[in-house]
Chain A
């Protein structure tokens, strides 16, 4: 195959992936249900909109502890004892962005598909 053809194919592939990425990371409607997973199983499900005050969750894995910080509408990996600390550098979990992942300790923090598709939740207060 000609080099030019390859350039076109690869450029198209990049373009398709970019569009795909944009579709995947389009902000969903205002739900803020977040799931925290370790080793693939659910540790806790939290509705960030109903969080008042601040709290921390500490998970320990093979490479030490991960501390998750939660306040109203906000969740981030505050500290991690794993070698790369990529999860800490991720910053806060954005509704448009990617999940927070700590591969060494197998922790994933991600938005749940908006409470089974709902846009809002009503409940007693």
Chain B
């Protein structure tokens, strides 16, 4: 484990936490759980490409745990974790099928998985099957926000790729 990689992971985790906390402070736009931009996802994606699976997993896990503590959304923790882990697994598995210019597609697919995972957790926790009716909205929101955050990560990563390859390994 390289010190530089560790430092970069820490910095990215800090960024992701800031993004997550700010987003949590914005009042929800819709009366539907789980519709949000998910800016923190930009950093997970970036870390996955820049540093690899292990570092990205660490970042994601820390961000979810610390984020839940910082924002006090302990309820959301279990939903976040289910959705986050599910989509991360998919991200790692599918990564090699997507060229750098299609990070946004990968991200959209993962965001959709994330929302499905969250919804399943909510169904399980509340034992209320009826909330599945939110699924279509959550899918739309996942595709759009996932594509957006993916595009952010994609643009930044392509720009920094050279520099990163020189300074990390």
Q: Give residues in A with beta carbon < 8 Å to B.
A: 1, 3, 6, 10, 13-14, 17-18, 20-21, 24, 37, 39-41, 63, 82-84, 86-87, 89-91, 98-101, 103-104, 106, 108, 110
> If A13-B143, A106-B126, A106-B128 touch, does A18 touch B28 (CB 8 Å cutoff)?
no
Distance between B56 CB and nearest chain A CB, rounded to angstroms = 22
- Among B5-13, B39-47, B131-139, the stretch in contact with A: B131-139
Query: Is there an interface contact between A91 and B31, defined as CB atoms closer than 8 Å?
Result: yes
Query: Is there an interface contact between B75 and A3, defined as CB atoms closer than 8 Å?
Result: no
> If A86-B33, A89-B31 touch, does A37 touch B128 (CB 8 Å cutoff)?
yes
Closest to B73 in A: A83
Distance between B28 CB and nearest chain A CB, rounded to angstroms = 6
Q: Which residues of B contact A40 (CB under 8 A)?
A: 126-128
Contact residues of B: prevailing secondary structure: helix
Query: Is there an interface contact between B130 and A110, defined as CB atoms closer than 8 Å?
Result: yes
In the complex, which range does the number of interface residues on chain B fall in?
Answer: 20 to 34
**Residue B105 CB within 8 A of the other chain:** yes
Give the complex CA separation of A99 and B126 in angstroms.
14
Query: Is there an interface contact between A108 and B128, defined as CB atoms closer than 8 Å?
Result: yes
Give the complex CA separation of A17 and B33 in angstroms.
17
Candidate in B72, B102, B126, B134 with the most chain A CB atoms within 10 angstroms: B126
Query: Is there an interface contact between B140 and A21, defined as CB atoms closer than 8 Å?
Result: yes
> If A20-B136, A83-B75, A103-B33 touch, does A10 touch B105 (CB 8 Å cutoff)?
yes
Which of B76, B125, B128, B136 makes the CB contact (< 8 A) with A18?
B136
Contact residues of A: prevailing secondary structure: mixed
Q: Give residues in B with beta carbon < 8 Å to A.
A: 27-28, 31-33, 72-73, 75-76, 79, 101-102, 105, 108, 122, 125-128, 130-131, 133-134, 136-137, 139-140, 143-144, 147
Q: Which residues of A contact B33 (CB under 8 A)?
A: 86, 101, 103
Query: Is there an interface contact between A103 and B133, defined as CB atoms closer than 8 Å?
Result: no
Distance between B109 CB and nearest chain A CB, rounded to angstroms = 9
> If A86-B28, A86-B31 touch, does A14 touch B140 (CB 8 Å cutoff)?
yes
Closest 8 CB pairs between A and B? A40-B127, A90-B31, A21-B136, A17-B136, A106-B126, A20-B136, A104-B75, A6-B105
Give the complex CA separation of A83 and B72 in angstroms.
8
Q: Which residues of B contact A13 (CB under 8 A)?
A: 139, 143
Give the complex CA separation of A104 and B147 in angstroms.
29
